[in-house]
Amino acid sequence: MLRRIFAVFAARNREFVRDRGSMAWNIVLPVMLVLGLSYAFGGDGRDQYTIGVLQDSAEIDSAQHPFLGTRFVEFVPVQDEALALRKVAHHQLDLLVSFDATPRYWVNPESPKGYFAERLLLQSDSAIANNISKNIVDGQEISYADWVLPGILGMNMMFSCLFGVGYVVVRYRKNGFLKRLRATPLQPREFIIAQVSSRLVLILAITIFVYTGTHLLLDTRMEGSYFALLLVATLGAICLIALGLLVSARVTSEELAGGLLNMISWPMMMLSGVWFSLEGANPIVQGMSRIFPLTHVLDAARAIMLDGAGLADVLPNILVLVVLCIVFLGIAAAVFRWSPD
């Protein structure tokens, strides 16, 4: 019995080692994640306050004012005043300052951290207290549950779409199921449409059920239109399903498919704002996050749910998702193959 067990054990190990693609992803992916996350979030982690600096430049010059050299304060350059004021209102920025020709600052009086940030500003320079104007921003704090709910729903959608389609199609190809379908009049684009439609119905039903239950249980914020939110969720789901189909269009190894899907899903989960905001992260990392469809889904969903944004406000995110859907589906249909040969 032990000889038979060992024979199977050795055969399975040889199979894995000979599959160089799968072995490489299992080694490279964790290293890439550790190095990438260390680079993106490798600060000392001691910043206590987040303060926006209203300016045209993307780089903050600490020589503008002594306050900008304050330790343990994260200064974030912002160009969009309206967006920054919304963040102050929701306690996402503790303070917003401007050191142009007419120095001024904005604070939410209901924000505890905003109160202390204001004290730091006024005490950083003895002359500034008499020369800077104060502006009050009213708004209700957004709880972490309100903020993280779109991220959790998006993450669940991402894993269901990528692995529920990509991994399954590879298994179909490996066990010969797709080869048998090839003998029928079914075309690749018809198979892809059926896969997209099936997974879309399932994932939307699950997402709506989870959102409804969570919303009723925790009384989470919903300031915008349910139709706009459903549209964003639908486009996001189609885009992620199409990405899963693109990965599985020619892959024949389940291990390699799992490695590729993990390589896509983990960076997307970490850099798309599922658990935490990328506010203040390295600009290169923020730029990289824009290539992921989940980033646009979550940005649009949070704008609708937390800020009451309409379709016109999230139109750039919607257009990006539409373009990505077309590109992913087009490439997947063009390179799709039925059999491993």
Please tell me the distance from the alpha carbon of residue 102 to that of residue 317, in angstroms, as a whole number.
Answer: 35
Please report the pLDDT score of residue 267 as a whole number: 85
| Most trustworthy range by pLDDT among 46-55, 78-87, 290-299 | 290-299
Please report the pLDDT score of residue 129 as a whole number: 66
Nearest-10 Cα torsion for 32, 33, 34, 40: 110
Cβ atoms of 249 and 335 closer than 8 Å: yes
Q: Is the pLDDT of residue 220 over 70?
A: yes
In the block, residue with structure tokens 């917003």: 96
Please tell me the distance from the alpha carbon of residue 254 to that of residue 340, in angstroms, as a whole number.
Answer: 12
Q: Give the pLDDT confidence of 3-56 residue by residue, as tens digits.
A: 655 554 565 556 556 656 555 555 565 556 555 555 555 555 555 788 888 888
Nearest to 174 by CA among 332, 15, 330: 15
Please report the pLDDT score of residue 23 as a whole number: 56
- Average pLDDT for 183-195: 74
Cβ atoms of 169 and 248 closer than 8 Å: yes
Q: Give the pLDDT confidence of 142-179 residue by residue, as tens digits.
A: 776 777 888 888 888 888 888 877 777 777 777 777 77
If one compares 299 and 74, the residue with the highest pLDDT of the two is 299
Please report the pLDDT score of residue 323 as a whole number: 94
pLDDT band of residue 253 (cuts 50, 70, 90) is confident
Q: Which helix (H) or strand (E) holds 170?
A: helix 168-174
Alpha carbon 261 to its chain's center: 15
Please tell me the distance from the alpha carbon of residue 297 to that of residue 153, in angstroms, as a whole number.
Answer: 10
Please tell me the distance from the alpha carbon of residue 332 to that of residue 170, in angstroms, as a whole number.
Answer: 13
Please report the pLDDT score of residue 22 as a whole number: 53
Percent of residues, the chain, with pLDDT higher than 70: 81
Cβ atoms of 241 and 161 closer than 8 Å: yes
Q: What is the DSSP string of 19-82?
A: -HHHHHHHHHHHHHHHHHHHHHS-S-S---EEEEEE-SSSS--GGG-GGGG-TTEEEEEE--HH
Name 75's bridge partners.
Answer: 51
Please report the pLDDT score of residue 316 as a whole number: 93
pLDDT band of residue 321 (cuts 50, 70, 90) is very high
Q: What's the whole-model pTM score? A: 0.71
Please report the pLDDT score of residue 177 as a whole number: 73
- Average pLDDT for 275-304: 83
Please report the pLDDT score of residue 155 as a whole number: 86
Percent of residues, the chain, with pLDDT higher than 90: 12
Strands 49-54 and 95-98: parallel
Q: Is 127 exposed, middle or buried (0-12, 13-18, 19+ CB in 10 A)?
A: exposed
Please report the pLDDT score of residue 333 as a whole number: 80
Total Cβ atoms within 10 A of residue 321: 24
- Average pLDDT for 245-256: 79
Average pLDDT, the chain: 79
Instruction: Say which CATH class 49-136 falls into.
Output: alpha beta
Please report the pLDDT score of residue 319 as a whole number: 95
Q: Is the pLDDT of residue 248 over 90?
A: no
Domain residue spans of the chain = 49-136, 144-335
Please tell me the distance from the alpha carbon of residue 318 to that of residue 231, in angstroms, as a whole number.
Answer: 9
Please report the pLDDT score of residue 172 as a whole number: 77
Please tell me the distance from the alpha carbon of residue 158 to that of residue 147, in angstroms, as a whole number.
Answer: 18
pLDDT band of residue 244 (cuts 50, 70, 90) is confident
Please report the pLDDT score of residue 7 as a whole number: 59
Please report the pLDDT score of residue 70 as a whole number: 82
Q: Is the pLDDT of residue 123 over 90?
A: no
Helix axes 226-248, 188-218, angle to 10 degrees: 140
Q: Give the pLDDT confidence of 256-281 residue by residue, as tens digits.
A: 777 788 888 888 888 888 877 776 66
